[in-house]
Structures are given as structure tokens and as C-alpha cells.
Amino acid sequence: MKILLWDIDGTLLRSGRAGHRAMNAAARDVFGLQEAFADFDFGGRTDPWVLDLLCQRHRLAAPPERVAAFYAVYLEHLRRELHNPNAHTCAGIRELLNHVHSSPEITQGLLTGNLAAGARAKLEHFGIWHFFPFGAFADDSGERNRLGPIALERARHHLARVDLRPCDMIVVGDTPHDIACARASGARAVATATGGFSFEELAAHHPDLLVRDFSDPQPLLEFIRALG
């Protein structure tokens, strides 16, 4: 059994910068900051990591109730902002998710820097939430590299199989952070150039498989098959 763990933004979908605008709106509503994330690189970062960086940059105190307020406002704006003409699933993703869904030897879940509620909002918007019975989210840890072992535990529980090993996991993402996360977890790293990084930039980080996109599902499926 192989566990395919998907990143969301830039990998499964592009939100048309819905997340960016929702973060800006939350920073405005909760902290009174205008365009707080104007020059911010979100790629591969978890939501708590983003909030930490914001607080450091502006020397803001973020007690738990303010953090909760920030996320609540963010989610409210996110759900609305997803309705924009530039939001779309990445090439080939729907077909690939469907295919893997019916493959008895592969189980898929999420490994994402999104909060679980944000992940759900994004994936439900595109009608693909049901493909992911488990996942590791930013609620579990703000450090992306700690999410791999959590995803493995969830997979073991979901499948009732304690014999699953880190090397049975395949982490798919669009940034060097995703590749680093796979390495930190003992998982295989698959990178796709459908997000903010080019094929050449990702190649420099030596993922186990690198694709331009998933319009052809075969490279990924063959890669998984070859793992045995």
C-alpha cells in the first residue's frame, strides 16, 4: 500500500489568490494593517507560519483569542474569495484523483499548510474534498516538516495498518518546502511545476520525480508502481 499525500495550493488547485486576499482582509480586520501581505511569499508555508511572520514583522502580540479571530475572519473571507474566475484545479488533477481513488494499492490524503477548515473550504469549492479521508494540517503543527509523521499516523489509523512505513509515503507539492518536508519524513518527494516555482527551480532541489503538471498521469502512476 502506498500513501499519496497532496499539497493543496499550487498542486491540486490555484485559488486565484483567494487565500492571499483573505489573509490581507484578516490582517486588516483584526490588526488594522493595510495590504499586509502585498509582497509576501506564501508558497509552502503553513498558515501559522504566515501569521508568525506577520506578527514578527509588525511587532504584534498575538494571544490565542486574536489568533482565533484572525483565522475566523480569514476563513470567512476565503469562502467568498474562492468565487473568482481565476480559481481552478490544476491540469489533470480531477482525472488523477479519480484514478487513484479507484486504485486499491494507493490511498490518498492531504499534507498541507492550510488549516483543516481552510483546506476543506478550498477543496469543497471544487467538489474534490471527498477524495481525502485523512490528512495532516496546519492545526496539527505550524512546522511543515512535522506534518509527515502525523500524516503517517492518520494513514495507519484510517487503513488500520500499523505496518505502513515512512517510505510508503509520497509527498506531492509545488515548492522546495514540500520536498524538504518529504525528506524530513523519510517519504518520497514528487514535485510539480504548477505553482510558484519553475521546473528548473524545483529540479535544483532533486525531487524523486519532477513533472511540469499532471496532464499526463502516467509518470506519477509509473513512479508509484516502481516503488513496489
**In b/e form, how buried is each residue of 39-62, taking b as 16+ CB within 10 angstroms?**
ebebbbbbbbbbbeebbeeeebeb
Report how far residue 49's alpha carbon sits from residue 63's, in angstroms, rounded to the nearest whole number: 15
- Binding residues for Mg ion (CB under 5 A): 7, 9-10, 174
For Mg ion, the closer CB: 7 or 168: 7
- In angstroms, the CA 120 to CA 138 distance is 12
Quote the least distance from Cβ 102 to Mg ion, whole Å: 25
Least separation in angstroms between CB 87 and Mg ion: 15
Comparing CB distances to Mg ion, the nearer of 73 and 172 is 172
Tallying the residues shown for the chain, one arrives at 228
- What's the min distance (Å) between Cβ of 51 and Mg ion? 17
Q: Is the Cβ of residue 168 or residue 174 nearer to Mg ion in the bound state?
A: 174
- Opening angle at CA 43, ends 17 and 194, nearest 5: 75
Taking the complex as a whole, the smallest distance from the CB of residue 171 to Mg ion amounts, in Å, to 11
Distance CA 53, CA 41 (A): 11
As measured in angstroms, the least distance from the Cβ of 89 to Mg ion is 13
- Of the pair 73, 179, the CB lying nearest Mg ion is at 179
Cβ 90 vs Cβ 11: under 8 Å:
yes
Amino acid identity of residue 224, one-letter, is: I
Grid cell, residue 43, equals 508558497
Output 7 or 140, the one with its CB closest to Mg ion: 7
Q: Which residue is nearest to Mg ion (CB)?
A: 10
Distance, CA of 119 to CA of 197 (rounded, Å): 21
